[in-house]
Amino acid sequence: MEKNKLLPVSVADQPPKSQSYARRILSATFFVCLTLYAIKQLFREVVPHSHHRGLPDGVASKASCVQVPPLYPPVNDVKIGEMWEYIQTPAFRNASIVRHSGAVKIPTESFDNMGEVGEDKRWDIMYQFADYLEATFPRMHSDLKVEKVNTHGLLYTWQGSDESLKPLILMAHQDVVPVPASTVDAWTHPPFSGHYDGKFIWGRGASDCKNQLIAVMETIELFLAAGYEPKRTIVMSFGFDEEISGRRGAGHLAGFLHDRHGNNGVAAIVDEGAGFSTAWDQVFAIPGVGEKGYTDVYITVRMNGGHSSIPTDHTGIGVMSELVTMIEAEQYPTYLADENPMLGLLECGASHAPTFPKKLKKLLRKHSTKSQCKAKPDELALEAAKLGGRPVKYLMQTSQAVDVIEGGVKVNALPERTMVTVNHRINIGDTAETVFSHLTSLAKPVAEKYNLTLHAFDGTKEAASSISMYPSENTLEVAPVTPTNVDTITPYAILAGTTRAVYGDHIIVSPGMMTGNTDTRYYWPLTKHIFRYGPGYDPTWDKGLGNVHTVDERISVDNHLGMVKWFTLFVRNMDEAQLE
C-alpha cells in the first residue's frame, strides 16, 4: 500500500487502562445483541428527529459522529477466555516476535518489471514464504482448506457451521517493496534482519504489511487451538504482488472468490490500510472506507523532424512544454463531495476533539446545511487544506503530477517524438473522465495553434503531426464508499465497537480515506463493506506508519500485539453479529 499521513499529528494520548478479559466482560455485561440494541438506543437519543430536519438518511449519523460503545463478545467458552489471557503473556509476546521476525527475514520483494509467475524466477522466493507459514502455523494448514491461486496466492477457508451467513474475508499481502542496494547502508539494522531491539521489529515488510498477515494467522491459529467453531465462514486471502498493482495475486484471488460467493456474497473485508492518528488533541482510529481513483495519462507530440540549422519556430519539445505549462497552471478543484469520508472525519473532529479549529467548525455547519454548488469554491475544503497541508488537501482534490518526460535524440536534429506521463489520483466526486476531458480541453488550443491533429482518448496512441493522449491500463475509478452508518448493525459498527473494546473508549473511530490503492480494488463486487485498516495501536509510539516504503521500516511489538487482540475480538464479534 502507499500510505500517507491522514492527519497532522500532535501529542500522544494516555495509554488505555488494561483490564483482564473477565473484568472487561463483567463490566460490559451485554451479549453482543444487547450491546447493539444499546447502540440503536444511543443513536435514537443523540439524533431523535433527524428525519424531521429534512436530512437524508445517513447524514444525521455522520453529522454527529455517533460513537459505538465498546463491543465484547459473550463469554461462552472458557478456552476463548484463556486464549485472550494468553495473548497478554510474555510467553506469547516472545513467540510472536519470533514469528513476525521470521517472516520479515524472507525477502519477498516484488519488482516493477517482474514477468509472469513461472517465467520470472524472482517469484520463487514466495515458495519459501509459504513453507515458512506452513511450518509456523501448522493447525491452519491441517485443519482449514488451503488453496493456492495462481501458484502463490494463498487462500485459507475456515468453513462456518451456518451456511446462510456470508463469509468474512481477512486480507494482507505477502510481498514487500524492494530495498534498493544503494539504501542498504542507511538502515539502522539490515533490512531483512528482522532485528528485535526490545521494542521494535525492524525490516522491510515489518509494518507493510507482514505484521497484519502474521497477526491474522496468529489469531486464527489460536482459535483453532482453543477448539473454536465459527458460525460464519472466515476466509484468509493473501496476494503476492500488491506493491506492483496486485494483478497476479489479488486479481486472481478476487476472481476466484467471486466465482465462489458471487456479487455481494461476502459480509465484510478487512485489508491493510489506515490506522490511528492524533489530531486536535484527540486519538482517532481511521479505517479507510474510501479510496481515490487512479490514472496515468501518456501524452505524445509527434512533429516533422529536420535539421537544427534551419529549425521551425517551435519543436515538439517546445510544444509539449507549452502544454505542460498549461497543465500545471491549473489545478483540479479542492472540494468535499457529500460522500467523501473526509467530511465524516471533520465531523468527528468537530464533535469530539478538544482543540478542533473554530473556523473549521463554523464552515462545517454551513457545509452540511447547504447543498454544494460545484461552481463555487468549497470554503471548508480550502480551509482544511490550508491547515493540513498537501497530505490533507489531496484527500479532497484530484492530484496531477508530470512525472516522466522523454524527447529528442540528437543535438542537430529536431525532435520527432516527445512524450510525458502525467500521474493522477482521482478525488471522490470526480471520475477518470473528469481528467480526460480536462486534458482534452487544454490540448485542443495547443494542437490548433501548431496545426497538429488532436487524438484525445480516441484509441490512437500516437500518429504523425499530432498530439495524442491515452490512459494507462491500470486506470481505476474512485472506490465505492463503504457504509459507515451505525443506526443498524453494520460491519462498520462492529469494527468501531471492537476497536474501542480493545483500546478504550477514549478512542474516537472515524471514517477515513486512502490516497493510495490497495489489493481491495479487485474485490469491489464481493461486498460494499470494505475496510482498509491496520488495527494495531501503540500509544507510546505515535509513528503509526512505521517508515513504510523507506529505510528503517519497523513495527513496535505492542502495536503488533494490539492487532492480534483486535482480530481476536473482531472475529468473535462478527460471528455473533446479526448483520442487517
Ligand X SMILES: *[C@@H]1O[C@H](CO)[C@@H](O)[C@H](O)[C@H]1NC(C)=O
Nearest approach, Cβ of residue 463 and ligand X (Å)? 11
Among 60, 209, 320, 345, binds Zn ion (CB under 5 A): 209
Does the protein bind Zn ion through residue 1 (CB under 5 A)? yes
In the three-class reduction of DSSP (H, G, I as helix; E, B as strand; rest coil), residue 289 is classed as strand
For 341, other C-beta atoms within 10 Å of its C-beta total: 26
81/130 Cα distance (integer angstroms) = 30
Q: x/- contact string, 270-299, with Zn ion (CB under 5 A)? A: --x---------------------------
The entry of ligand X, Zn ion, none that residue 208 binds, CB within 5 to 8 Å by partner kind: Zn ion
Among 20-28, 86-94, 122-130, 156-164, which window interacts with ligand X (CB under 6 A)? 86-94
Cell numbers at residue 511, please? 471514517
Q: Could you confirm whether 259 is annotated as catalytic?
A: no
Q: Within 105-173, where are the H helices?
A: 125-136, 138-143
Residue 549, annotated as binding a ligand: yes
- The CA–CA distances, whole Å, from 156 to 170, 221, 236, 451, 475 equal 10, 12, 5, 59, 30
Which residues of 428-556 form beta strands (DSSP E)?
Answer: 453-456, 466-471, 508-509, 512-514, 530-533, 554-556
Toward Zn ion, which CB reaches closer, 160 or 249?
249
Among 90-98, 135-143, 501-509, 524-532, which window interacts with ligand X (CB under 6 A)? 90-98
Cis bond upstream, residue 373 (ω within 30) = no
What is the total count of residues that contact ligand X (CB under 6 A)?
5
Among 29, 164, 451, 578, binds ligand X (CB under 6 A): 451
Catalytic residue among 13, 218, 241, 242: 242
C-alpha closest to that of 511 among 324, 298, 287: 287
Among 13, 208, 271, 378, binds Zn ion (CB under 5 A): 208
Among 62-70, 88-96, 108-116, 504-512, which window interacts with ligand X (CB under 6 A)? 88-96
The entry of ligand X, Zn ion, none that residue 90 binds, CB within 5 to 8 Å by partner kind: ligand X
Cell numbers at residue 336, please? 468535499
Q: Within 370-400, where are the H helices?
A: 379-388, 390-393
Q: Could you confirm whether 143 is annotated as catalytic?
A: no
Among 19, 94, 142, 331, binds ligand X (CB under 6 A): 94
Dihedral angle of Cα 189, 190, 193, 195, to the nearest 10 degrees: 0
For 111, other C-beta atoms within 10 Å of its C-beta total: 14
Nearest approach, Cβ of residue 106 and ligand X (Å)? 22
The Cα angle at residue 480 between residues 4 and 571, in degrees rounded to 5: 75
- Strand 508-509: give its sheet, edge to edge: 276-279, 282-285, 508-509
Cell numbers at residue 309, please? 540549422
Does the protein bind ligand X through residue 90 (CB under 6 A)? yes
The entry of ligand X, Zn ion, none that residue 183 binds, CB within 5 to 8 Å by partner kind: none
Catalytic residue among 13, 175, 383, 576: 175
Dihedral angle of Cα 393, 4, 342, 392, to the nearest 10 degrees: -20
Toward Zn ion, which CB reaches closer, 100 or 367?
100
455/466 Cα distance (integer angstroms) = 7
The entry of Zn ion, ligand X, none that residue 94 binds, CB within 5 to 8 Å by partner kind: ligand X
What single-letter amino acid sits at 308? S
Contact by Cβ (8 Å): 529, 483: yes
Does the protein bind ligand X through residue 91 (CB under 6 A)? yes
What is the total count of residues that contact Zn ion (CB under 5 A)?
4
Nearest approach, Cβ of residue 437 and ligand X (Å)? 25
Cell numbers at residue 292, please? 481515490
For 231, other C-beta atoms within 10 Å of its C-beta total: 13
Toward ligand X, which CB reaches closer, 14 or 451?
451
The Cα angle at residue 330 between residues 328 and 336, in degrees rounded to 5: 120
In the three-class reduction of DSSP (H, G, I as helix; E, B as strand; rest coil), residue 180 is classed as coil
Nearest approach, Cβ of residue 69 and Zn ion (Å)? 31
Toward ligand X, which CB reaches closer, 88 or 423?
88
The entry of Zn ion, ligand X, none that residue 1 binds, CB within 5 to 8 Å by partner kind: Zn ion
Phi and psi angles of residue 147, each rounded to the nearest 5 degrees, phi first: -125, 145
Among 40-48, 90-98, 205-213, 220-228, which window interacts with Zn ion (CB under 5 A)? 205-213
- The CA–CA distances, whole Å, from 556 to 10, 120, 446 equal 19, 34, 54
Residues 455-514 binding ligand X (CB under 6 A) are 465
Nearest approach, Cβ of residue 88 and Zn ion (Å)? 27
Does the protein bind ligand X through residue 27 (CB under 6 A)? no
Does the protein bind ligand X through residue 354 (CB under 6 A)? no
Residue 173, annotated as binding a ligand: yes
Closest residue to Zn ion: CB criterion: 1
Residue 458, annotated as binding a ligand: no
Instruction: Classify the C-alpha dihedral 449-452-453-457 as positive or negative.
Output: negative
For 27, other C-beta atoms within 10 Å of its C-beta total: 10
Toward ligand X, which CB reaches closer, 482 or 556?
556
Does the protein bind ligand X through residue 304 (CB under 6 A)? no
The entry of ligand X, Zn ion, none that residue 558 binds, CB within 5 to 8 Å by partner kind: none
Nearest approach, Cβ of residue 134 and ligand X (Å)? 24
Toward ligand X, which CB reaches closer, 91 or 310?
91
- Number of separate helices (H) and strands (E) present in the chain: 17, 18
272/287 Cα distance (integer angstroms) = 9
Q: x/- contact string, 42-81, with ligand X (CB under 6 A)? A: ----------------------------------------
What is the CB-side half-sphere exposure of residue 451 using CA atoms within 13 A? 5
Nearest approach, Cβ of residue 64 and ligand X (Å)? 46
Contact residues for ligand X, defined by CB under 6 A? 90-91, 94, 451, 465
- In the annotated binding site for Zn(2+), the residues are 173, 208, 243, 271, 549
As annotated, the active-site residues are 175, 242
- In the annotated binding site, the residues are 173, 208, 243, 271, 549
Contact residues for Zn ion, defined by CB under 5 A? 1, 208-209, 272
